[in-house]
Amino acid sequence: MPELPEVETTRRGIAPHVEGREVREVIVRESRLRVPVPDDLSERLVGSRIGTIARRAKYLKLPIVSEAVIDGCGATEKGTLLWHLGMSGSLRIVPLGELPGKHDHVDLVLEDGMILRYRDPRRFGFVDWLRQDEGGDPRLNRLGPEPLSEAFDGSRLFDLSRGRKMAVKPFLMDNAIVVGVGNIYASEALFMAGIDPRRAAGRISQERYDALAAAAKEVLAAAIAQGGTTLRDFVSGKGEPGYFVQKLRVYGRDGQPCQQCGAELKRVTLGQRASVFCPHCQH
């Protein structure tokens, strides 16, 4: 599943090719995504331009603006495309005329002859329309702070964990606590902080939460930075935003020796997700 760094890399990869471009055509080959593609999507988009793309958690927000932005008269924002990649989705830039594949469900044909193409084999992602007068969308309103922002720190984790008996790993992965710390990066951050993922969230000290917040920021920032070398993948017919090439220390390495102490890494299931940890280094 694409996690926050993969989604951020997608945003950075497609932004230079779509921001400010007029949408000339919308092609929907399969509307039955997790949220059905709006029937009037073409009517809303064609003739308008895409504004500055933003990311909130794992959602991409594409503002749709009027032509006025090009004339310097002040843009009129018509609404926002809310895009989620789900478990297997990808967005990439391909040239007009490149034949779509079996799982290429939505195309936005741009004025320069390029296409923003959405592929999603499992169809768990979606593209939805948010009107300007809708106010805050409930999918966004309930989200916690961004993990690399100043609003996320050890104090927040400590305060929200008091009295919580759930294991610390699913607590850290709760989007109401902090967004975007998915399975891979939660596993890595807990290892860096030396915290056993099975420990009750409410039984961890402020000092150890300070270390965990710092570790989460470090591992996510590193993953996003490494994504910079993959941006070319979004301007090709074969580009896929896979997981970053990085040396993961625990995720996916159960049964192998810990790179820090040599003990065998163990695997448990927490919150219906596999969790790998070192029983010697994490406590």
DSSP codes joined into one string, the chain: ---HHHHHHHHHHHHHHHTTPBEEEEEES---SSSPPPTTHHHHHTT-EE---EEETTEEEEEEE-THHHHTS---EEEEEEEE-TTT-EEEEEETTPPP-TTEEEEEEETTSEEEEEE-TT---EEEEEEGGG-S-HHHHT----TTSTT-SHHHHHHHHTT--SBHHHHHT-TTTSSS--HHHHHHHHHHHT--TTSBGGG--HHHHHHHHHHHHHHHHHHHHHGGGGGGGGSSSS----------SSTT-TTSBPTTT-PBPEEEEETTEEEEE-TTT--
Look at residue 236 and tell me whether its pLDDT is greater than 60: no
- Domain 4-141 belongs in CATH node 3.20.190.10: yes
**In which residue are the tokens 């990649």 written?**
85
Enzyme catalytic residues: 2-3, 58, 273
Query: pTM for this structure?
Result: 0.86
Domain boundaries, the chain: 4-141, 154-277
Q: What is the per-residue pLDDT across 5-52, written as a single tens digit (0 to 9) for each?
A: 889 989 998 999 999 999 999 999 999 999 999 999 999 999 999 999
Give residues with Cβ within 8 angstroms of 148, minimum separation 6.
217, 220, 221
* pLDDT band (50, 70, 90) for residue 240: low
CA-to-CA distance for 40 and 28, rounded, in angstroms? 11
> pLDDT band at 88, cuts 50/70/90?
confident
Residue with the larger pLDDT of the pair 145 and 241: 145
Question: Does the pLDDT value for residue 74 go beyond 60?
Answer: no
Q: Is 103 annotated as a binding residue?
A: yes
User: 154-277: which CATH architecture?
Assistant: Orthogonal Bundle (1.10)
What CA–CA distances, in Å, run from 98 to 6, 23, 59, 105, 121?
24, 17, 27, 14, 18
The overall average pLDDT reported for the chain is: 89
